[in-house]
Each structure stands twice: as C-alpha cells, then as structure tokens.
Amino acid sequence: MQVSCIIPTRNRRDMVIMAIESALAQDECQPEIVVVNDGSTDGTERSILKRFPEVKLMSTPGLGPVLARNEGAIAAKGGVLMFLDSDDKWLPLHVKSLMQLVQKGFHVAYGVTMTRDLLFQKEFFIPERGEEASGYCFDSLTKWRPLKKVSISAHY
C-alpha cells in the first residue's frame, strides 16, 4: 500500500530540508512526499525545488497548518497518510513500523516523538514513554495537539 508523507511548512527553509531528508531516508518503505509551502517568504519553495525534484510541492496562500495539511491530503496519492511537521525528523524505520500496525488491521497508528527543547536544553517524549492508547483514544492522541472532534471524520 502506498504511503504519502504530508509536510506543511511556512518560512522554515532550513528545517523543512531536514524533514524531507528524513522522509527520503526511510528503510524499505519509501513514501510519496507532498510538501505544502504555506505562504513562505524566505525562499523555502526555491530551496525545495532545487534540492528535491522528486517531491510534490504545492503552494497555498498562508492558510495555516491545518488547512495546508488538508490540501496536502487531497493531493496525496497514497492510501495511507502520514504527517510530518517541518521542524521534525523521522527515524529511518518510522514508516515501516507504523505500516506494520496498519497491515495488522489498525485504522490509526501513531509514533513516539522525541522533542529537544533547545532553549532549556532538555529532551522529552510525546506521548510519554509507556503511555499507550487503544480503544477510544481521541483525547490521549490529541493531548499535545488539540483538535476539535468535528474536524476529524472517518474515511472508509
């Protein structure tokens, strides 16, 4: 099953390069990469086009990250959508490990994110280690990125 990686970005020229490189460095499962340049004014689009001709690049007029993600999801060709923020990186087995869960029949899977706070020089995990969610887990999955329940719908 084809995987699409959707990366919304705005004025993060250097950071989005690292995000794209991490998506391209996936072992065994190479995703389609859709970058949504959401009104950047720092040369983000030019930098991506120059370095990554294989990436599908879209432009939106500063809609915000939620609508930029939605536009990327509409344009994606994959049957499985994965989202990567432009200031984050995936480890090389990220796609493979999540796809193993999808292939077991799960409709939603999530990975643990290690966050480095550069200001206070500390690291922490989202969700915290050992904090797993199953069954009705909407509140747990959105603890760090609040969403309105009306903004999520099932797709069959």
For position 8, which CATH number holds?
A: 3.90.550.10
Pairing status of strand 113-117 against strand 122-126: antiparallel
* Same domain? 135 vs 81: no
**Tens digit of pLDDT per residue, the chain (156 long)?**
899 999 999 999 999 999 999 999 999 889 999 999 999 999 999 999 999 999 999 999 999 999 999 999 999 999 999 999 998 888 899 999 889 988 888 877 777 666 766 677 777 776 666 666 666 666 666 665 555 444 444 443
Domain encompassing residue 148: 110-156
pTM, two decimal places: 0.80
Identify whether residues 81 and 118 lie together within a single domain: no
- The 8-class DSSP code of residue 134 comes to -
Based on the structure, what is the number of domains in the chain? 2
Cα–Cα distances in Å, from 5 out to 55, 84, 123, 131? 10, 7, 25, 25
Q: Are 60 and 115 part of one and the same domain?
A: no
Q: Which residues pair with 115 in a beta bridge?
A: 124
Taking the C-alpha atoms of residue 133 and residue 147, their distance in angstroms, rounded to an integer, is: 17
